[in-house]
Chains A and B, each alone.
Chain A
């Protein structure tokens, strides 16, 4: 079935994560910055060049009384220090703006324009409830202008900028990973600015403009006090870029700037992108998942192919384009590699990249044996925006009814109705894909665990046995374990090793009851305790050498961490073969169904 399930997707990115975000700006949101500030230090001293949001000049921190309290402010606990000595200060909770607005331009310039010793490193400063993070950067000194001793004209010193700092102000209780990300962005912007400064003194020019406007405003004000920064915006591209960075961080979490209309700085805040409802998936968890994906997994795009392609920069890799065009929910990564004519390694790399940027998720490829169930975090509310979208997308169907069908685990095959037109089936697939993209469904897999009934006469001994998992350890069946990545767009951060698919059972000869096979079976069963081995050998099915051999060969999968499909893939076996085997040895095996913890992160946030 050659389907492109991504057809007909809504283009609006925000609607893919509709859950509870009603307002884009959440007061007290720990993943959004409070302010962005640009300072510089040079021959003219420390200057605050730009800040956004700008405070209203009339407001002065000492006049903040209770009645100016913002009615929308969230009273976050843990901010106020519990003064146990009893002289608790009357503090009305401050809004985000007020937290930073309380700092005047001069003070900010003093504390944020650091000494040159602190340049080139992460800058972190916490003052009460605000945390400032940046990456102060040294600029190269321009050539010194030699003024001749005999020159009668007064010495004109060219004002030079020595260093600058792009600072983000955050709430003090922001997650360390958020702080780290903000620092990363600050560093990237700094690198771009440093480059442009060297090339054409871009930063100096913009700084001059900014300072000029500031001076102008302070000298000519006499009527209503206006914020000079408001005036700077239309005149300075850099100011607009910084404002855009701030706005993007507060909303979508995706920042794309073109410094001086030339250098691109792109960045994403995983905490905003990988959100399900009110919680976000921590980047570390994301990375762990991505390191564990296997060639039998598939990549599911979260956006329309066309939309996605249009978002890519002009100089993006052709491999990425090829992958996006060839990608499909029914194709696993190995097939994708073949179809797109790319190395599997590259596919993994690009897939990780797309996932990190929130453009795709990892699933098990769609097939009729897949069993799906409602995700515990699915929004099944009648009036949710999802329900609305579904109705528009699939006229005549309503989301709750569809979701109700997945209340009990159901395989796609069960929906098959020979009397139905094939288009119905195609539509069903589309609906399932739609639901997967919106994290409404989870897929269940079968896991198997070996547990031999304890012997009646020596129960004490039984308890001493370490579980099979501990004994049959040391056989790693994981994929590119060194797939690590930091910043997604810098490929030098990505290191790769070739995927290792240990298929050690291939050496077993099939058929026949040769002594070699017998011995191999014995070896494999050697890791079991005497009691366990005896019990297994006494099972009726074990009398059949073929079955026993198969059982022994697969023994190391029976610790509850490898699902049926993985065993099928690794051992090149059919589902029916495995199921029959499980049934034959059911007296020592315990079977259960649940989601794959490796990729379940994409369906459910971390607990």
Chain B
């Protein structure tokens, strides 16, 4: 049986079993589908993790043994009606030992809770125990429950005010109604050029809310972050730029993305030359004047955007550091090497040029590019 995850990658369940503590026989597997899947040997080895001591009940337990992984949640229902005054059972799944079973845990929990409810309100497990219908029922159910398998992803980075969100896929594929109101409100302003602060101002949404909404989109891979575009920006190539030559799919994607609207498709050579023309010390403006012929069919803003999204190029940011100061002056707050021009301009509201003018004439300040 396969359960399709959100990503479309199947996690194969090889067996479902129902185990309980029999009043005379002790821990046993009452039913399993397919039959005889769990050998007596395997069960003997792992039974202590299936029918457990009270301390471990209601916990999700995954044990690996003999090439198999068993995931279960032991339950105990106490009542005088049961012999030994308690019903101990565990509904579990079995997979291959190499499977990543994190996504199955909520299912096990859910099924375990479901059975508990059934038993408490209807006493049905016990009734059904006589017949084989328990597992047919479950099998049927599992095939139709649309269980959302949560793929654990990496924590997204913090979104700064000077970051620019850009859609990783075509915006038209985006189903607005799936998302919360804040996200819906800022969506029209995500164009790959507006930075967070600007989006907040224009969409009239509080800055932190915008940050959180974008971080959420980032988590699901719907957007990625690039830096603010200016013609004075400096970029340089990364080793990944070679993938434009090696990887046909990235090539196609790139050429389609960067070609100017209504123009014939740009040539690979032109685009590659443009990327390679980016280097420390060269601004985008310089690139435009040097490679004007190559830029006839290429939109330079989209070129930069694509390059950043696919990590073919990276931005070189300027960091001012105040290295010499006399005893009397206060320690530098922003010129410590920890804050880029982007950040300083965003926070203080002055333009790049103004900041440049201020700092260029200050002998105590050095500027590092990285």
Contacts and interface: CB of A to CB of B under 8 A. Distances in A.
B161 interface: no
Given A81-B105, A125-B64, A409-B280, A111 B49 contact: yes
A378 interface: yes
Interface of B: 41, 44-45, 48-49, 52-53, 55-56, 59-66, 105-106, 109-110, 113, 148, 150, 152, 155, 236-239, 241-242, 245-246, 248, 251, 264, 267-269, 272-273, 275-276, 279-281, 311, 314, 319, 321-323, 332, 336-338, 366-370
A220 interface: no
A591 B113 contact: no
Given A117-B65, A381-B337, A468-B245, 9 more contacts: A84-B106, A126-B60, A376-B370, A381-B336, A382-B337, A449-B245, A451-B273, A462-B267, A560-B246
A124 B370 contact: no
B338 A381 contact: yes
Interface string A111-149: 100110110001111111000000000000000000000
Contact of A114 (B45, B52, B60, B105): B45
A173 B245 contact: no
Of B65, B269, B370, which is in contact with the most chain A CB atoms at under 10 Å from its CB? Answer: B370
Contact of A107 (B56, B150, B248): B56
Given A85-B113, A560-B242, A590 B370 contact: no
A383 interface: yes
A400 B366 contact: yes
B65 to A, nearest CB: 6
Contact of B65 (A118, A403, A462, A466): A118
Contacts of B106: 81-82, 84
A596 B239 contact: yes
Contacts of B246: 467, 469-470, 559-560
A429 B337 CA distance: 24
Interface residues of A, number: 69
Contacts of B338: 380-382
Contacts of A469: 245-246
B245 A560 contact: yes
Contacts, number: 166
Main SS at interface, chain B: mixed
A451 B366 contact: no
A46 B44 CA distance: 16
Contacts of B281: 408
A76 to B, nearest CB: 8
Contacts of B60: 81, 126-128
Contacts of A42: none
A607 B311 contact: yes
B273 to A, nearest CB: 5
Contact of A451 (B113, B269, B280): B269
B61 to A, nearest CB: 5
B241 A382 contact: no
A173 to B, nearest CB: 7
A398 to B, nearest CB: 6
28 contacts: A78-B152, A81-B109, A82-B106, A84-B106, A85-B113, A103-B55, A107-B56, A111-B52, A115-B45, A115-B48, A117-B66, A127-B56, A128-B59, A373-B280, A374-B369, A382-B321, A400-B366, A401-B323, A407-B280, A451-B245, A451-B268, A467-B245, A467-B246, A467-B268, A469-B246, A559-B242, A592-B241, A594-B239
A597 interface: yes
Contacts of B113: 85
B370 A594 contact: no
Closest 9 A/B residue pairs (Cβ)? A597-B239, A592-B276, A407-B369, A404-B366, A560-B242, A126-B62, A400-B321, A380-B337, A374-B370
Contacts of B56: 107, 111, 127
